[in-house]
């Protein structure tokens, strides 16, 4: 174990139901001891129901109960409601669902639960994202996965070797366990995957985005509505997209075509 100044239950690990945050929780417990760790999840209704099963499996694997925290002003936990209330689904610097259902939920939890350190699922291939976050948001972050030199693919292998079954959406080709139909995605590859695997979700996103005037997909450099997307259109193959967490930014590789 590593010595780090602090007290009992002073490290908050933010668990997103993704592979990286699961391994971050495990590594934090191994590195600092179970008595110093609290794990918190910000649930969102649009995530797949199997995420709950995975969260319970991870809790048993690590030996830490995973708490939930919601923004009391958005107790419904529904991104679709947030989009309607915001009259938009995404903005250049982030999506309103992340700000209200994730970031505000964390701030509410922190106001009532004092901790010294925070752990997120930043992997070594997201070091720039981590560095930007610690520069602009908070500096008291322990980069457990970066320190361990672990990539997102490494995290998947750790879970596989431990006998844990990833959330169901991974088996369908999704690179993370975010909400189905993430509105920060612009890739036609991604959206046609949603169309094939969750057609009702695709239809709902298409209808809501048209109603709110949000062109969610980009084809050949041009933004179009989902209902204009050719079902056979493809962009680049999907890679490991960032887990939806305290920050939300439009991707430049995995999300786009």
We report the CATH number of the domain holding residue 132 as 3.40.50.620
251: burial class by Cβ within 10 Å (0-12, 13-18, 19+)? Answer: middle
Q: Using N-to-C axis directions, what is the helix angle for 79-86 and 199-212, rounded to 10°?
A: 10
| Residue at 221 is within a domain | yes
| Residue at 5 is within a domain | no
| Residue at 1 is within a domain | no
Residue pLDDT, tens place only, 81-102: 999 999 999 887 778 999 999 9
Residues 6+ apart with CB under 8 A from 253: 236, 239
For the chain, the domain total comes to: 1
pLDDT band of residue 235 (cuts 50, 70, 90) is confident
| Residue at 249 is within a domain | no
Residue 118: C-alpha distances to residues 68, 110, 252 (Å): 16, 10, 26
pTM of the full structure: 0.89
Residue 177 token pair: 């366990």
Residue pLDDT, tens place only, 127-148: 999 999 899 888 999 999 999 9
Residues 6+ apart with CB under 8 A from 152: 19, 20, 123, 125, 126, 175, 240
| Residue at 237 is within a domain | no
Residue pair 113/38 in contact (Cβ under 8 Å)? The answer is yes
- Show the domain range for 218: 11-228
């Amino acid at each position: 174990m590593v010595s780090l100044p602090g007290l009992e239950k002073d490290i908050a690990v933010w668990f997103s139901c993704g592979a990286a945050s699961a391994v971050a929780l495990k590594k934090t417990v191994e590195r600092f001891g179970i008595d110093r760790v609290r794990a918190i999840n910000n649930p969102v209704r649009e995530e797949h129901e199997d995420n709950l099963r995975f969260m319970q499996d991870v809790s048993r694997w690590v030996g830490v109960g995973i708490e939930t925290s919601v923004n009391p002003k958005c107790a419904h936990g529904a991104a679709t409601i947030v989009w309607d209330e915001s009259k938009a689904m995404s903005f250049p610097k982030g999506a309103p669902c992340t700000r209200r259902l994730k970031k505000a939920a964390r701030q509410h939890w922190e106001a009532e639960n004092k901790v010294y350190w925070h752990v997120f699922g930043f992997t070594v291939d997201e070091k720039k994202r981590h560095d930007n976050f610690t520069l602009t948001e908070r500096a008291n972050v322990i980069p457990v996965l970066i320190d361990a030199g672990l990539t997102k693919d490494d995290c998947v292998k750790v879970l596989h070797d431990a006998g844990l079954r990833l959330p169901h959406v991974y088996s369908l080709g999704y690179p993370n366990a975010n909400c189905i139909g993430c509105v920060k995605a612009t890739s036609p590859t991604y959206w046609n995957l949603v169309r094939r695997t969750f057609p009702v979700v695709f239809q709902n996103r298409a209808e809501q985005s048209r109603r709110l005037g949000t062109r969610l997909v980009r084809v050949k450099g041009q933004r179009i509505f989902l209902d204009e997307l050719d079902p056979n259109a493809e962009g680049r193959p999907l890679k490991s997209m960032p887990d939806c967490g305290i920050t939300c930014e439009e991707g430049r590789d995995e999300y786009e075509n």
